[in-house]
Amino acid sequence: MGDLNPRRVALATCAEVADLDPDDRLLLAPLAERGIEAVPAVWDDPTVDWDAFDLVVLRSTWDYAERRERFLEWVRSLHRVLNPAPVIEWSTDKQQYLARLEASGVPVVPTRFVPPGGAFDSPREPFVVKPTVSAGGRSSARFEPREASAARTLLARIHAEGRTAMIQPYLGDAEERALVYIGGVYSHAVRRRVPLPSANARAVFYLEEDITPTKATREERATAEATLACASGELLYGRVDLLGGAVLELELAEPSLYFSCGEGSADRFAAAVAAAASHRRRISPENGRTTNQ
C-alpha cells in the first residue's frame, strides 16, 4: 500500500528552467519511490503556495544573483527550506565565506575585492573579474594584463549594480575539482572545465561546462570537509570547488550536483530529502533554528 499522506516537496527553480535542469530531473523517480510528491516550482512565481509544501529544496534558482535581497527575503519567508536561510545568506556572498575560510586556515585561491568606489590595479598576470554575488558565470570574464581598460569597464558595470567585484588569477586550462556532499557525507566528484569568456564574449544565462567523473583524493576531501565545517547550519547538500588544492568557490545555495556523474547519488539525495521531510521540523525565518514538531 502506498503512503496515504505523501510528503510534498518543492524543488525550487527559476523561470528559465521551470521544469528543472535535466540533471535535477533525475531526482523525480527516486523521490516518488519514497512517497515524495516532488513539484518543480519557480521561486519568484507569485501564484505558488509555499506553505502547501512540507519542505522546499533549493535547486536551480540561478537568476537570484542580480536581485539577491529579494531572493533572501523569499528564502527567509519559508517555513522549511534546505539549505536553511542563514546558510544561503552567508554562502551567496563570496567575500563573506572566503574571509571566514581563510581565517579558519582553509586554503583559498588568492582573491582581491574591489567595492564600489574602490581602486583597481591591474594584475601583471592573466586574471578574472567577477561579482562577489554571482551565478552561472554571468558578469565574469578573463583578461590579459594589457586589457586593463576592458576590465575597468566590467568593474564599472558590476559597481553600477551595487555589487562588489573580485579579482582572481586566471590559470588557463587548469581543471577545477568539484566535490559533492549529501547530508554532510562525501558522495562523488567531477573534474570541471568552465571556459570563461573574454571581455568581448556575448552574455549568456550560464556558462557551459565540460564535466568528467573523477575520484577525490584524501587531501581534497580533507580540504572540502574543513570548508563545509565553516558553515553554520543543517546542510542537505554542498559542493566545494577546488583549484590547485585551494577553494575557488563554496556552493551551498543552488549548485549543480552532477547526479549523472555520481552512481547512486540521485538516490542518496532523494533518501536525504525524504528523511528531512518526514521529520516535520520547521525552521524559524528569523534565526534558522529548528524545532521538532
Cα–Cα distance, 249 to 108 (Å, whole number): 9
- DSSP structure string for 51-88: GG-SEEEEEE-TT-GGGHHHHHHHHHH-SSEES-HHHH
Per-residue buried b or exposed e for 1-34, using 16+ beta carbons within 10 Å of the residue's own CB: eeeeeebebbbbbbeebeebbebbbbbbebbeeb
- Among residues 68, 138, 177, 239, the one annotated as catalytic is 239
Cα–Cα distance, 248 to 246 (Å, whole number): 6
How distant, in Å, are the alpha carbons of 91, 116, 252 from that of 87? 6, 25, 7
Cα–Cα distance, 271 to 10 (Å, whole number): 15
Active site includes 202? yes
- Among residues 146, 202, 218, 286, the one annotated as catalytic is 202
Cα–Cα distance, 156 to 151 (Å, whole number): 9
Structural element, H or E, at residue 112: strand 112-114
Determine how many CB atoms are found less than 10 A away from the CB of residue 82: 23
Contact by Cβ (8 Å): 82, 9: no
Contact by Cβ (8 Å): 158, 146: no
- Among residues 234, 249, 251, 254, the one annotated as catalytic is 251
Active site includes 282? no
Report the residue count for the chain. Answer: 293
* Residue 30, CB-side half-sphere exposure with 13 Å CA sphere: 17
Active site includes 251? yes
Q: In the numeric block, which cell numbers belong to residue 183?
A: 547530508
Residues assigned a catalytic role: 202, 239, 251
